[in-house]
Amino acid sequence: MLRRIYDSSRSCLDAKVVLLWIGANDTWLPQRLDIYEDNIRQIINVLKNNHEKVGVGLLPPIIGPGLPNYPRDSQDQVDKFNDIIVKVAGESGCFLADFRNLGNYIIDTVHFNHEGYEKVAEIWYKALKKEKIC
């Protein structure tokens, strides 16, 4: 995945801002937190090397039961992932977009309904506006 992010990042060097929002789908597999942190750090470093600003989205809640492959303790994993995102983004000078309060819009454990995606766009817009990017 890092290679794909590197290639994508290098393919659009004129982009001043990159928005990163990944990890919710990863909560269905057990993953060591130190590996997750290292992965996020590497991804952010690649993006920071190629772009002026990087925004990172906090993961929304896992609402279940929904998709059967998500374990019942997925929310615990999401909370830990979000703690790591806050830490690494802060250390890297990234701005955050907080999607943790969008549980009412989840339709199948991790995906939003139409209104939810409108809220996602609104939250990204507010984060960009706060950074004086738009």
Q: What is the mean pLDDT of residues 63-92?
A: 82
Total Cβ atoms within 10 A of residue 24? 22
In a domain, 7, yes or no: no
Task: Calculate the dihedral angle through the C-alpha atoms of 109, 111, 112, 117, rounding to the nearest 10 degrees.
Answer: 150
CATH number at residue 101: 3.40.50.1110
- pLDDT score of 71 more than 70: no
How does pLDDT run across 80-107, given as a tens digit for each residue? Answer: 999 999 999 999 999 999 999 999 998 8
Higher local confidence (pLDDT), 71 or 123: 123
d(CA 112, CA 45) in angstroms, rounded, equals 29
This prediction's pTM: 0.89
Q: What is the mean pLDDT of residues 56-69?
A: 78
- Residues of the chain with pLDDT > 90, as a percent, come to 60
- pLDDT score of 66 more than 80: no
d(CA 9, CA 43) in angstroms, rounded, equals 10
Question: How many domains, the chain?
Answer: 1
Q: Where are the alpha helices (H) located in 18-102, listed in sequence order? A: 33-50, 74-92
The parent domain of residue 24 ranges over 15-130
- What secondary structure letter does DSSP report for 19? E
In a domain, 39, yes or no: yes
Structural tokens at position 132: 């004086």
In a domain, 6, yes or no: no
How does pLDDT run across 10-45, given as a tens digit for each residue? Answer: 888 898 999 999 877 776 677 899 999 999 999 999
Q: Are 45 and 7 in contact (CB under 8 A)?
A: no
